[in-house]
Amino acid sequence: MPRVLVLVAQRIALGCLLLLTISILIFAGTEILPGDVAEAILGRTATPENLENLRRELGLNEPTYVRYFQWLCGMFQGDLGSALSSGADISEAVGYRLKNTLFLAAFASVLSIPLAILLGLIAVRYKNRFFDKLISALTLAAISLPEFFIGYVLILLFGVQLAWLPTVSIVGEDMSIGQRLTVTILPGVTLSLVVLAHMMRMTRAAILNVIEAAYIETAELKGLGKFSVIYKHALPNALSPIVNVVTLNMAYLIVGVVVVEVVFVYPGMGQYFVDHVAKRDVPVVQACGLIFAAIYILLNLVADIISILSNPRLAHPK
Amino acid sequence: MPEYLLEIRNLQVSVPDMRGNHQLPGAVIVRDVSASLEKGKVLGLIGESGAGKSTIGLSSLGYGRGRVTITGGEIILNGRNILHQDRAGLNAMRGKEVCYVAQSAAAGFNPSKRLIDQTIEATLKHKLMSRREAIARAKDIYRALSLPEADRIGDRYPHQVSGGQLQRVMTAMALCSNPDLIIFDEPTTALDVTTQIDVLASIKAVIKRFGVAAIYITHDLAVVAQIADQIMVLKDGCMVEIGTTRQVIEAPREKYTKALLSIRSIEHEEQAPDDDPILQLENVTASYGSTPTVLNEVSCELSRGQTLALVGESGSGKSTLARVVTGLLAPDTGVVSFNGQPLSALIAQRSKDELRRIQMINQMADTAMNPRHTVRKIIARPIQFYFGKQGSALSQEVELLIEKIGLETDQADRYPAELSGGQRQRVCIARALAARPDVIICDEVTSALDPLVGDEIIRLLLNLQKEESIAFLFITHDLATVKSIADSVAVMHKGKLVRYGVKSKVLSPPFDDYTDLLLSSIPEMTPGWLETILANRKMEAAGH
């Protein structure tokens, strides 16, 4: 079998193993918290008898490993159980929320990734000149400001003063794609500003790393313009570190956007997750934890595979 | 007066400091160089490193590496002064009227693009042909350069073809846009001699066939003698002399040119091996993990106070043999004996005394030394480690060694970066000597140095051998060096010893095929040598 396939298969197998390990950690973590679900449900009304009854009803008296496998099997079948606090089906709630989160993340990615790479290329083209310093300063300022601050400034500007866009971003199932996009603009732009600097700076650094190579000189001596040298000859050889940072930021967009969701009242996974942590709703926390882990691992897997495929020595063996 | 394609008049090139000031002393790296080149002719630039050859070559494209800038004179190509062109004007000329062939094709090609796309890139950029026409032309040139599978080699990536082929593809890349002038910057320096001769022949053939003019840069006078019509000798950024190839080779005017012509002419009287060798290899076979064997049943002996030269091309297993002797790599089978006693296979199992008695000098002196240690510290380390000397006894011995290798004692507190390449190699020699070894393994110790400096290192080694009676295991790809230093010679090819014995026997006929190929591939100064040797080979091939 070609070496590249072996490497990719290895990465996928490792990803699965990692996911399994994390599922154990999540389950064990919620298990060692003081008190159990029955106590949480009954709260002050708990007496030894009805605690015992509820535990039997919920199957909490089974050994830990049995409950782990039941939970894991449920997860794989798409049955995430039901929330303790409301009794609602978790799969249904998560389905709706995850879709919103992915939509927002996709919006922000489409906006920020090409922009970050383009700005990185421009920064290299005008290295140490005015443009480079301006881009660096602006993106650094954007990453240094807290996201809620950027969010509120945007709301103030475009939502209140100019009144171009809605100030809250509640999305419903019955919205058209156009309506959805309109309400997503402000949170999407906020998130883009947050992730832009990291990706742009990595693009700049990775390209500067290969720009000293002899083949860049070869390209320049063919009479190619400065920008096409960077774009055609430097970028393809600097892809691997850039892709890694890009996917890391995409993972952040999916997993870590609680603050922005709260600011814009956007019904995404982050808010849902935090709400249920506060309610000590263990099944929801477990389900969300596993979904976040899976997304993180999947994106990093994609980054690894792209790195492997972008290495000509691996992709085109002798 | 003939119409010149390229005229360089009083060229001055400088490296300005960070603020752009180029008036500082030492900033000027090329001064007052003038030359002219007719259409279809070849000008050879020759000199040692730092002579400004590449700088002049790149100046003809209006290009300077890093902060290097052209600060005076004129460069006129096709009637236009390059120095008056702006960036767009230069880009219009580069890759169309003048092309560049880099020293290391392996580094000069973009690793993630197919060869054909890189070959035709300049042609398409300048809109000289359609893509289809450009590909057809590229394949034509591949064929003219006798590349194998000319129709398909372009589909490969740079790492998928050999060094010699890559260098020819790079020549094709330069020819593809049909330029008037090509700058060849040491195109064969990184190649083995047997590969060099083929690449040289094909470059010469296409220059003639496509009628292109060339500037051919090299440090090897014998190579340039084969290809150039005119030769310019450079030293420290200044022109030493310029003349037709025949005149420069046969009747050099300047002392420096004469010195260049007489390199590698050191004579060394061979000694007969004795019965009690200091180092002995018996049927050594070695490999790296699961790879095929790199050394195959190698047996040879090194006599006390003598030199065994190990010759072969890259990949022949020379350096692997050094790794086995030093104990860095355990052989699969076979024994290495020192002083009649078998040595442990790995370095960790050898005694301190055994370690002391076999020392090593590497090819790259600058990476073989800690850049943050002074010369004194570098040389003192083995004395402290093996003999436990301290204080004034230590510094006395260090200074003695520094004198012995021909440096000044006031250079003792310098760092390696403050020394020249030759001086650095001398420090490495002193470090090896400091352990008072019986055997020193010299791994390509002169190949990173300029020929004249390399000759001095050889002389130093020969003197030290006479004084201290040290045996050298001398690894090299350069047969000329072998003649100057060896008592015995072992020729390696693909991990096997193809020829082994005293120098006078190994280097005289009748030869086996490989040694013959190797010996006949060493370029000679005589103009026309290349044609003669190729014609001979053709006749032999027809005769067989």
Q: Where are the domains of chain A?
A: 90-315
Give the number of C-alpha atoms closer than 13 A to the C-alpha of residue B234, restricted to the C-beta side: 30
Which of B94, B110, B112 has the CB atom closest to A223's CB atom? B94
Closest CA to B300 of B489, B521, B529, B523: B489
Q: What's chain B's average pLDDT?
A: 89
* Cα–Cα distance for residue pair A108/A102, rounded to 1 Å: 10
Is the omega angle on the peptide bond into residue B510 within 30 degrees of 0, that is, cis? Answer: yes
Mean pLDDT of the B16-34 span: 79
Q: Any idea which of A295-304, B299-308, B381-390, B522-531 has the lowest mean pLDDT? A: B522-531
Q: Show residues of chain B in contact with A306, CB under 8 Å.
A: none
Inter-chain residue contact B110 with A214, CB threshold 8 Å: no
Tokens standing for B507? Answer: 């280097």
* Cα–Cα distance for residue pair A39/B287, rounded to 1 Å: 67
* Cβ-contact A306, A27 below 8 angstroms: no
Q: Which of A42-56, A275-289, B348-362 has the highest mean pLDDT?
A: B348-362
Q: Any idea which of A43-47, A247-251, A265-269, B503-507 has the lowest mean pLDDT? A: A43-47
Q: Under CATH, to which class is A90-315 assigned?
A: mainly alpha
* Cβ-contact B257, B240 below 8 angstroms: yes
Mean pLDDT of the A226-241 span: 91
Q: Cβ contacts of residue B538 below 8 Å, gap of 6+?
A: none
- Higher model confidence: residue B22 or residue B57? B57
CA B128 to chain centroid, in Å, comes to 36
Residues in chain B: 544
The CA distance from B111 to the nearest CA of chain A, in Å, is 7
Mean pLDDT of the A160-177 span: 82
* pLDDT tens column, A184-217: 899 999 999 999 989 999 999 999 999 988 999 9
* Cβ-contact B371, B415 below 8 angstroms: yes
Q: Show residues of chain B in contact with A316, CB under 8 Å.
A: 156-157, 159-160
Q: What is the DSSP letter of B512?
A: P
Long-range contacts, stretch A97-100, CB < 8 angstroms, 24+ apart: A97/A267, A97/A268, A97/A269, A97/A271, A97/A272, A98/A269, A98/A291, A100/A171, A100/A266, A100/A267, A100/A268, A100/A269
If one counts every other C-beta atom within 10 angstroms of the C-beta of residue B325, the result is 22
Element (H, E) at B123: helix B115-125
Angle at B117 between CA B115 and CA B122, to 5 degrees: 115
CA A46 to chain centroid, in Å, comes to 39
* Cβ-contact B13, B82 below 8 angstroms: no
Q: Kindly write down the DSSP assignment for every residue of A238-273, as one continuous string.
A: SHHHHHHHHHHHHHHHHHS-HHHHHHHT---HHHHH
Q: Which of A61-65, B262-266, B480-484 has the highest mean pLDDT?
A: B480-484
Closest CA to B225 of B257, B267, B194, B253: B257
* Cα–Cα distance for residue pair B459/B268, rounded to 1 Å: 10
- Higher model confidence: residue B117 or residue A170? B117
Q: Kindly write down the DSSP assignment for every residue of B336-392, as one continuous string.
A: EEETTEEPPSSGGGS-HHHHHHEEEE-S-TTTSS-TTS-HHHHHHHHHHHHH---HH
Q: Show residues of chain B in contact with A313, CB under 8 Å.
A: 111, 159
Q: Which of A45-49, A310-314, B21-25, B302-306 has the highest mean pLDDT?
A: B302-306
Inter-chain residue contact A218 with B122, CB threshold 8 Å: no
pLDDT at B2 over 60: no
Inter-chain residue contact B95 with A233, CB threshold 8 Å: no
Confidence band of B162 (pLDDT split at 50, 70, 90): confident
Q: Show residues of chain B in contact with A215, CB under 8 Å.
A: 107-111
Q: Is B255 on the interface with A (CB under 8 A)?
A: no
- Higher model confidence: residue B104 or residue A193? A193
* Cβ-contact B193, B522 below 8 angstroms: yes
pLDDT at A61 over 80: no
* pLDDT tens column, B180-195: 999 999 888 878 888 8
Inter-chain residue contact A233 with B111, CB threshold 8 Å: no
Whose structure tokens read 């055609």?
A232
pLDDT at A55 over 90: no
Inter-chain residue contact A215 with B109, CB threshold 8 Å: yes
3-state secondary structure of B315: coil
Confidence band of B544 (pLDDT split at 50, 70, 90): low
* Cα–Cα distance for residue pair A291/A286, rounded to 1 Å: 9
How many CB pairs (< 8 A) connect A and B? 74
Domains, chain B, with CATH or none = 39-52+87-261 (3.40.50.300), 279-373+435-520 (3.40.50.300)
Angle at B347 between CA B346 and CA B349, to 5 degrees: 75
Confidence band of A1 (pLDDT split at 50, 70, 90): low
* Cβ-contact B6, B181 below 8 angstroms: yes
- Higher model confidence: residue A56 or residue A7? A7
Q: Cβ contacts of residue B90 below 8 Å, gap of 6+?
A: A223, B61, B62, B63, B82
pLDDT at A124 over 70: yes
Inter-chain residue contact A222 with B95, CB threshold 8 Å: yes
Element (H, E) at B120: helix B115-125
Rg, chain A, Cα only: 24
- Higher model confidence: residue B166 or residue B451? B166
Mean pLDDT of the B504-533 span: 86
Which of A215, A220, A222 has the CB atom closest to B107's CB atom? A215
- Higher model confidence: residue A165 or residue A196? A196
* Cβ-contact B473, B490 below 8 angstroms: no
Spell out the alpha helix ranges (H) of B32-71: 53-59
* Cα–Cα distance for residue pair B272/B270, rounded to 1 Å: 7
* Cβ-contact B28, B90 below 8 angstroms: no
**pLDDT score at B1:** 46
Rounded to the nearest 5°, which phi and psi values hold at A35? 80, 160
Spell out the alpha helix ranges (H) of chain A: 3-31, 37-42, 48-58, 64-76, 90-125, 130-144, 147-154, 177-210, 214-220, 226-228, 239-255, 258-264, 269-278, 282-309, 312-315
Q: Any idea which of A171-180, A191-200, B34-43, B291-300 has the lowest mean pLDDT? A: A171-180
If one counts every other C-beta atom within 10 angstroms of the C-beta of residue B248, the result is 27
Q: Show residues of chain B in contact with A221, CB under 8 Å.
A: 61, 63, 94-95, 99-100
Q: Is A56 on the interface with B (CB under 8 A)?
A: no
Element (H, E) at B45: strand B42-46
Q: Is B178 on the interface with A (CB under 8 A)?
A: no
* Cα–Cα distance for residue pair B60/B77, rounded to 1 Å: 8
Q: Where are the beta strands (DSSP E) in B439-479?
A: 439-443, 471-476
Tokens standing for B154? Answer: 């372009």
Q: Show residues of chain B in contact with A220, CB under 8 Å.
A: 63, 94
* pLDDT tens column, B47-84: 888 788 999 999 999 998 888 888 888 999 988 899 88
Which of A214, A310, A312 has the CB atom closest to B108's CB atom? A214
pLDDT at B308 over 90: yes
